[in-house]
Amino acid sequence: MEMTALQVTTYRVEHGSGFSMPCITLANRRAGGENPRMLKWIFQRHLEIILMNRTDGGSSGAIWSKG
């Protein structure tokens, strides 16, 4: 069975006014074999909204940025 290389799913987070968050699923082709493991990714901006209640549109930035 052939796997789709990229899938986009939208999740609805019901907290406060709520928002929709895309979740991208990619096949981990480094794993090899016939059934590669699927990895799920979300954007940093959406993760910060959930974890730090950050709704100002700002971001902590990349981990390698100089502050």
Q: What is the pLDDT at residue 24?
A: 92
CA 4 from chain center: how many Å? Answer: 17
Alpha helix segments (H runs only) across 1-67 = 44-52
pTM: 0.58
Residue 37 is predicted with a pLDDT of: 78
> At 39, is the pLDDT very low, low, confident or very high (cuts 50, 70, 90)?
confident
pLDDT confidence of residue 64 = 53
In the predicted structure, residue 67 carries a pLDDT above the cut 60: no
Q: Is the pLDDT of residue 27 over 70?
A: yes
Amino acid at 25: T
